[in-house]
Homo-oligomer: A and B are copies of this chain.
C-alpha cells in the first residue's frame, strides 16, 4: 500500500454542517463511548433532530466513521508539525511526546475514540473501520520511524531495526495511555505519565556508548 492510498483513506469531503455535527459527536465520545452513544443523544447535544443526522450521514456508522477520520487527520497534522519544528533528535522526541500528551481532557477524548475504533476494527464484518485503523497506524508509524531514523543517523539513538523501534515507541505511548486512562484521577496524573513516557523512550533509544 502506497502512502497515497493511505492518505486517500483518510481524506474526505465534509460540508460545514457535517463538521459541526462531527464536532459535537467527538465531544460526546469521551463520556460515553460510541457504542453507548445513541443518535438521539448526539442530536440533543447538537440541538437538532435525530433525523437530521441520518439525513446528512445516512447511517450511524457513517457518522462515526467521519468523526474518527476527522480526529485522526487532526492528530496526524498536530504531531507532524511538532516533529518538523524540532532541531535535534532529543528535541524531536520531546516535542512529539508533548504533542501527544496535550491535555487530560483532550487525551481522554482521543484515546476513548481510539479504543472505539479498535473495537470496531476487530469486528471483522466492518471493513471500513479496519481500513481506517490500518491507515492511521501506517501514518503514525511512519512518523515514529522518521524520528528514530533521524536520531540514528545523528548518532544519538541506537536501534537494530528502525521499524521495530517505531513499533516499540508506539507501544510505550499507547500502553502508558491505557494505564493512564484507568487512573483514579487522570487529570492529576497526566503530566507524570508524560514524563514517564519521555524517560522510557529515551532509556529505550539511548545509545549506551553515546
Contacts and interface: CB of A to CB of B under 8 A. Distances in A.
A198 B181 CA distance: 25
Contacts of A35: 35, 119
Interface in A151-174: 160, 164, 167-168, 170-174
Interface residues of A, number: 36
Interface stretch (A3-11, A89-97, A200-208): A200-208
A137 interface: yes
Contacts of A48: none
Contacts of A2: none
Interface in A123-151: 123, 133-134, 137
Copies of this chain in its oligomeric complex: 2
Given A35-B35, A204-B203, A182 B118 contact: yes
A200 B171 contact: yes
A175 B181 contact: no
A190 interface: no
Contacts of A33: 119, 122-123
B182 A137 contact: yes
Contacts of A164: 196, 199
Contacts of A176: 167-168, 171, 175
12 contacts: A33-B119, A35-B119, A118-B178, A118-B181, A119-B119, A133-B182, A164-B199, A171-B178, A172-B175, A173-B175, A174-B178, A175-B178
Interface of A: 32-33, 35-36, 112, 115, 118-119, 121-123, 133-134, 137, 160, 164, 167-168, 170-176, 178-179, 181-182, 196, 199-200, 203-204, 206, 208
